[in-house]
Amino acid sequence: MRNQDRDYGREIAFKIKKAMLAIDTIAEQTLQADLDLTLSQFWVLSSLAHHEGTSQKAVCRLLGLTPAAVSRTTEALREKGLLARVENPACRREHVLTLTEEGRRQAARGADLLRREFGELYQAMDATQKDALERSLDTLLEALRTHHRND
């Protein structure tokens, strides 16, 4: 197929989606096997490790999850003893989330596991390919942000 006949938008979107599904599957399997965490649970732990004491609403915005999904996930993490959820004294309808010591350990351990797992996978690419992919994705993300702002 000649380059001018290719539907790059569809092909690139499909390949990005396929890569994300594979990445999510590998991450989910790694986290489940080693930490008994779902990927969503790890995302919440990781976001709280970087934004300690934030509200459930802020976690929803940060991760692009629904309030119901964040509520279910935080309840599961609370039951595992990985986070505490307390009423915000300034706004009683809002909950503030904080990690327990074990939650901080699990977030750090999960990040290390995923860094190691994906570091091994990315060895299939040489440094030039990784740099080119990162630059291309940065360009695409900026174009998407600009396009979204202009809508």
Residue range 33-87, pLDDT digits in tens:
999 999 999 999 999 999 988 888 899 999 999 999 999 999 999 999 999 988 8
Residue 17 has pLDDT above 90, yes or no: yes
The overall average pLDDT reported for the chain is: 90
CA angle (128 as vertex; 30, 126 as ends), nearest 5: 45
Say if residue 85 is exposed, middle or buried (CB neighbours under 10 Å; 0-12, 13-18, 19+): middle
Helix, strand, coil shares of the chain, percent, nearest 5, are 75, 10, 15
Retrieve residue 117's tokens: 């797992």
Residue, of 6 and 19, whose pLDDT is higher: 19
CATH number of the domain bearing residue 90: 1.10.10.10
What is the rounded CA–CA span in Å between residue 109 and residue 35? 8
Retrieve residue 34's tokens: 């080693």
Element (H, E) at 62: helix 56-63
Domain count along the chain: 1
Range of the domain at 96: 3-150
At 107, which amino acid appears?
A
Long-range contacts, 45-48 (Cβ 8 Å, 24+): 45/77, 45/82, 45/83, 45/99, 45/103, 45/106, 45/107, 45/110, 46/107, 46/110, 46/111, 48/83, 48/97, 48/98, 48/99, 48/103, 48/107
What is the rounded CA–CA span in Å between residue 109 and residue 149? 37
SS3 state at 51: coil
Residue 2 has pLDDT above 70, yes or no: no
Select from 114, 42, 33, 53 the least CA-distant residue to 77.
42
Residue range 87-101, pLDDT digits in tens:
877 777 788 899 999
